Amino acid sequence: MSLIELHDVTFQYGTQPDDEYAVNDIDFSIEEGQFVGIVGQSEAGKATLCRLISGQIPHFYHGELSGTVTVEGNSTVESTVGELSKKIGFVFENPYDQLTGATSTVLEEVAFGLETHGLTRDEMRDRARESLAAIGVEDLADRNPMQLSGGQCQRVAIASVIAMQPDVMVLRQPTAQLDPEGTEEVFDVVGSMNDDGYTIVMVSQEIERLVPHLDRLVVMDDGKIQFDGRPDDVLVRAIEEGLPIPVPVPVEIGHRLRDAGIIASDEPIPVTESGCLSELRHVGNRQRFDSKTDGGRSASPSDEPLDETADIVLNDLHHQYPSGVKALRGVSFSLDDGCVCLIGQNGAGKSTLVKHLNALLEPTEGVAYIRGADTTEHTTAELAHEVGLSFQNPDDQLFHSTVEEEIRYGPRNLGFDDERVAETTEQALSLLGVEERRNENPYDFGEPWRKRVAVASIVAMDTPIVVLDEPTSGQDAPGYKRLGHAVDTLVERGKLVVVITHDMDFVREHADRTVLLAEGQVIADGDTRTVLGDAETLARSNVHPPTVTRLSLELGVGSVLSVDELLDAVDASTGGASPSN
């Protein structure tokens, strides 16, 4: 008998139409000690599958359930939530759905669930500290959970589940709000738990980081399991059949080298960066590829004078919160056009910075000018005509009962006439691909779709400056592509688009300029190729170049920003085999 078994399972939420099902005819089992990854488009059934495994369905989510779900032979329907919680730990996509709100320190938050385990106070404290250390946030132990950044909250939520030491860990997009360092730590910790015998089920769009740990990769689509098998086999099938899931760069490169005949087609495709690097060194000229490069120019902050006519001018901006945390320490730069990405680890000051752009926060020292206006002399409502800000968490932003009402609210609130409200609403609906869902309630959507609605509601305001906080976190491949297209389109329309992101692939594909922050200061600022090619400076904020750039730096061919550029370099070294075509 398998540890977890689903037999002929179909489930329909109470909010779904009669002819729609969240999952349909699922037969699926997981063996003890396996690491199973689940991927697929938004609303493919991934979250529902996790809820079935953990017993949240039917105990919290109600609807029509048929078939059987068992854990260690026991029906999840007949087991209590308390019984299931001792066997299965669940990490939510949104940490605010998981934190209790009933504790005053992070240490208390992580220890909260242990109170039901009959441990002594010292045992609970020790286990909580060990869990925080495992996830790299032991320094937050005495902080108030409600005063942390979104990424910090997610790490605390994960630590609180690790502390419970369940036999099975179910993680639903656990790294969606984390910086690259935090993401790596989560995968390392979860991978170590799997090595120690824990059974892991993880939903993630971070396929490149996920795949090296997996025993199995499951692809879901339209409520069904489409593929289930070895990760490399599944990913190659996904490429060949055009399935819309993100494909790791090493797999894409390996597949294209085989298509070009440079590598024999029966050779296994590497799924790790190190395996891909070895393969590229093998097919290339060793003399060319053996010397590393630093990628060119330094990405240190510019010492040029501020352009006082720019749309955004920050001059020696400082911000200290009432708790004493110094979030910004003398930030100075001017922004005028294009797509500008703000990068850096959680807590670097990115979100604090952009909240100064529409007077949600005021400087402790220094000044912020928006299109010539000192933000301290204007209200947030006044600055809303100049700056549209989409929050990291869409639930902080959405409040209407239909998509169209949500998107119409912003332009109507800015005083647009009916004709212009209708025009900008339609443009935003189309640009973000939500026009067919205009009459649906956003809170019936998964978080990735809610994010697209939140971005659309800002786009409809037609402000000259658009600020997006982590728009691609947790997005599936179509959503990622749609958001990238939206940013490019806004730039073509003459907007200044400022994007906070941990997604280095999004940065390399869309950013004209990249600003790196660490501990509230700008430590790199320049064109994206230069910044992403300066691995040493990036490391000061625990940020890594995107995979394709890391590969190019290791190969000694400079800083590249696309697979095509990298394969062109390989093409040149192999005498024109043209893997980039």
* pLDDT per residue as tens digits for the range 116-175: 788 899 999 999 999 999 888 899 999 999 888 767 888 899 899 989 989 999 999 888
pLDDT at 570: 74
Q: How far is CA 20 from CA 45, 183, 413, 442, in A?
A: 12, 34, 36, 17
Indicate the pLDDT class of residue 576, thresholds 50, 70 and 90: low
pLDDT at 287: 39
Check pLDDT > 70 for residue 196. yes
DSSP calls for 509-538 = HH-SEEEEEETTEEEEEEEHHHHHH-HHHH
Least confident of 171-175, 178-182, 267-271: 178-182
CA distance 386 to 372: 11
More confident residue, 154 or 77: 77
Q: Average model confidence (pLDDT) for the chain?
A: 90
Check pLDDT > 90 for residue 473. no
Check pLDDT > 90 for residue 183. no
pLDDT at 97: 83
CA distance 442 to 205: 21
Asked if 14 contacts 130 with a C-beta cutoff of 8 angstroms, the reply is: no
CATH of domain 312-545: 3.40.50.300
pLDDT at 253: 94
10 Å CB burial of residue 379 (0-12, 13-18, 19+) is exposed
Sign (positive/negative) of CA torsion 500, 505, 510, 514?
positive
Question: Tokens 């993401």 identify what position?
Answer: 183
Please name the residues in contact with 17: beta carbons below 8 A apart, sequence gap of 6 or more: none
Check pLDDT > 90 for residue 447. no
Check pLDDT > 80 for residue 112. yes
Summarize pLDDT for 293-310 with one digit per residue, the tens.
444 456 777 777 899 999
- Characterize 168-192 residue by residue with b for buried, 16 or more Cβ atoms within 10 angstroms of its Cβ, and e for exposed: bbbbbbbbbbbbbbbbbbbbebbbe
pLDDT at 230: 93
CA distance 500 to 352: 11
Q: How far is CA 74 from CA 11, 116, 168, 241, 469, in A?
A: 19, 22, 14, 38, 43
User: In the 8-state DSSP scheme, what is residue 386?
Assistant: T
Indicate the pLDDT class of residue 291, thresholds 50, 70 and 90: very low
Please name the residues in contact with 97: beta carbons below 8 A apart, sequence gap of 6 or more: none
CA distance 257 to 360: 50
Indicate the pLDDT class of residue 99, thresholds 50, 70 and 90: confident
pLDDT at 297: 59
Residues 562-574: what's their mean pLDDT? Answer: 82
pLDDT at 575: 58
Structure tokens at 39: 């991927």
Q: Is the bond preceding residue 322 a cis peptide, omega within 30 degrees? A: no
pLDDT at 148: 84
Please name the residues in contact with 556: beta carbons below 8 A apart, sequence gap of 6 or more: 288, 289, 290, 291, 292, 293
Residues 38-64: what's their mean pLDDT? Answer: 93
pLDDT at 497: 98
pLDDT at 245: 86
Please name the residues in contact with 453: beta carbons below 8 A apart, sequence gap of 6 or more: 394, 398, 403, 406, 407, 432, 434, 442, 445
More confident residue, 490 or 569: 490
Q: What is the pTM of this model?
A: 0.84
Please name the residues in contact with 476: beta carbons below 8 A apart, sequence gap of 6 or more: 40, 41, 42, 44, 205, 244, 245, 246, 448
Indicate the pLDDT class of residue 94, thresholds 50, 70 and 90: confident
Indicate the pLDDT class of residue 573, thresholds 50, 70 and 90: low
pLDDT at 290: 43
Least confident of 175-184, 188-197, 315-324: 175-184
Question: What class does CATH assign to 34-57+74-218?
Answer: alpha beta
pLDDT at 569: 78
CA distance 451 to 579: 36
For the range 305-308, what are the long-range contacts, defined as Cβ-Cβ under 8 Å and sequence gap of 24 or more? 306/332, 306/333, 306/334, 307/334, 307/336, 308/334, 308/369
Domain with CATH 3.40.50.300 in the chain: 34-57+74-218, 312-545
